[in-house]
Amino acid sequence: MQVGTGISILNGIAIGKIKIFKAPTYEISDSLVEDPIPELDRYEKARVKAQEQQNALYKKAVKAAGEDSAGIFEFHAEMLDDDDLNDSVKSIIADQKHTAEYAVKQGFANMAQMFKEMDNPYFQARSTDVIDVGNCVLDILLGNDTESMQGTEPCILVAEDLAPSDTVKLDKSKLLGMITREGSSNSHTAILARSMNTPTLIQCKQIDDSWDGKFAILDGYNSCVYVEPTQDLIDTLTAKHNEDLKKEALLKELKGKTNTTIDGRTIKVFANIGGPQDIGAVQENDAEGIGLFRSEFVYLGSTKEPTEDEQFEAYKRVVETLAPKLVVIRTCDIGADKTIDWMNLDHETNPALGYRAIRICLTRKDFFKRQLRALLRASAYGNMGIMFPMIISVREVREAKEILAECRRELENENVKMGNPQIGIMVETPAAVLCADELAEEVDFFSLGTNDLTQYTTAIDRVNAKLEPFADSHHPAVLREIKMTIDAGHRHNCWVGICGELGADLALTETFLRMGIDELSVNAKSVLPLRKEIRSIDLSKPMSEKAQKFMNYLK
């Protein structure tokens, strides 16, 4: 038996034969051509076909993993329209008289290097996306078969690394699990793996070509893979795998039941979504409402700013479909790791602390008003909450509310019907936590964005893989901030929820309940497991060991 260890992306077990995937090698000579015209034509046809492939992958990814995870393929498709990149490739063909293959390899490598040399870790990580797109164009030019990487039988796929496009191309019905030698838990491939509910092990340095075709068990709970395991291990982990399958079936029986603890405490369990296309997953998993509609994906999915009417239709569809359930829509949170070409945002040395979210909206008033008018119009069709992100002061909240009131007056004068949405803010900075009492007097609710709150509190960039050994999602300071926010909100009759990743962390569910949290909003697939956990808790009894440990942080 051989044992490989790494970092687990998803708790779960995969049992089956290993299939080693060898990425195509691109051995391209620097030979010259007499006539560059045919090569320019070959490149253009390959570029268009690659763009069609990326758009098709986007649609497939939306169905398999949701809008948030699929967004990378929109970025890929847009990259193939980049003038600088295309001019560079065409220049290598036309001026230097190289083949289309050589020009693509060189042109995309140059752009990837440019990203790699940027100061921002997010943009550094995008260098792999540039190479991924370039390889797609090369595969077309070289006639490489990229559809048969899995083979015909169900398998645990093993590779040096997998690009997002590789991951989405996989036939999920034949994919038992994935193992890679490289990779980051914050990469797009890892995000896709979680969304596809596929057990995945990354940074497994023991991978060996001799594993190909051998029987193995990927144990996501213990972050390892057993190649040709002993019979005892097979029996134990098969039983665990079967237990997981039974749990999934039992979870479905929780649909329609209340999120009430054994002693009678009820808490709301909502879902996070990226757009109207995610409504089906919300309904399938029986969420009570939407705790976070990331409205920026309405913008990211467009080549130009969406009109007020286009935004209205997107918001109306969600609010109307889910009525009378509450739908909390976060106003545009562009900036940091979410950029849009048509917004012409300047390059920043530290965009996570820069011009983003509410800071953009308050300084581009017309842009902000188009969204707020669309939201107010859509509020007439259901139960809506409007939530402002990245708030650090009372001044910002008041200014945003004044612009909202101005929009309401305009619409009233136009005889447009509106609802009366609740107003809330994201609490995702230490500044907002420390001003929570004053902020709570201005709004109806708080929603704790624990991803950014953890990043800003611990000074650890959440997308930098090198910092993973230093990251602690259960950091005492973050848990204290959550409790401070809940207490401040309740002192001023302001309900408090969590919409970050910690909301789905079952190790903290009892702790959050004992802190007094009112609502938890998670990805749709986490709704039923969270509901099960809530219904197993008895707050009238002494707290569990794990809850005691976390509650001790608050003393």
Query: pLDDT tens digits for 68-110?
Result: 667 778 888 888 988 889 999 999 999 899 999 999 999 998 9
> Cα(496)–Cα(517) distance, rounded to whole angstroms?
6
Each residue's pLDDT tens digit, 251-286: 678 888 889 999 999 999 999 988 777 787 788 788
User: Is 149 among the domain residues?
Assistant: no
> Cα(159)–Cα(153) distance, rounded to whole angstroms?
17
User: Is 113 among the domain residues?
Assistant: yes
CA-angle at 318, arms to 313 and 324, nearest 5°: 125
Tokens of 370: 């188009």
Its domain, for residue 354, covers 256-552
Looking from the CA of 137 toward its CB, the CA atoms found within 13 Å total 31
Amino acid (one-letter) located at 192 = L
Tokens of 354: 């820069």
Position 119 scores a pLDDT of: 65
> Cα(329)–Cα(387) distance, rounded to whole angstroms?
6
User: Is 222 among the domain residues?
Assistant: no
Residue 125 sits in the same domain as residue 273: no
Q: Which residues contact 468 (CB under 8 A, 6 or more apart)?
A: 7, 184, 185
Task: Exactly one of 155, 361, 407, 499 is catalytic; name it.
Answer: 499
Nearest to 104 by CA among 77, 128, 133, 134: 134
Nearest to 479 by CA among 516, 444, 450, 520: 450
Task: Provide the CATH number for the domain around residue 444.
Answer: 3.20.20.60
Task: Provide the CATH number for the domain around residue 100.
Answer: 1.10.274.10
Position 186 scores a pLDDT of: 61
User: Is 48 among the domain residues?
Assistant: yes
> Cα(476)–Cα(489) distance, rounded to whole angstroms?
20
Q: Is 475 a catalytic residue?
A: no
Point out the domain boundary residue: 106, 124, 143: 143
Amino acid (one-letter) located at 217 = I
Contact 379, 418 (CB under 8 A): yes
Residue 303 sits in the same domain as residue 451: yes
Looking from the CA of 272 toward its CB, the CA atoms found within 13 Å total 24
User: Is 158 among the domain residues?
Assistant: no
Point out the domain boundary residue: 143, 177, 193: 143
Point out the domain boundary residue: 128, 143, 158: 143
User: Is 250 among the domain residues?
Assistant: no
Mean pLDDT in runs of 10 for the chain (555 residues)?
88 90 78 90 93 85 66 83 90 92 92 78 73 89 71 85 74 85 73 77 91 93 92 92 81 82 95 81 86 85 82 91 94 71 71 82 93 96 96 96 97 96 96 97 96 92 78 92 97 95 93 97 87 93 92 86
Distance of CA 31 to the CA centre of its chain: 43
Ordered strands of the 13-20 beta sheet: 2-5, 224-227, 215-219, 13-20, 155-159, 175-180, 200-202, 7-8
User: Is 182 among the domain residues?
Assistant: no
Q: In Å, what is the CA distance from 294 to each residue of 290, 338, 489?
A: 10, 12, 23
Q: Which residue has the tokens 């609490």?
A: 427
Task: Exactly one of 76, 155, 188, 407 is catalytic; name it.
Answer: 188
Tokens of 93: 């063909």
Question: What is the number of domains present in the chain?
Answer: 2
Q: Is 188 a catalytic residue?
A: yes
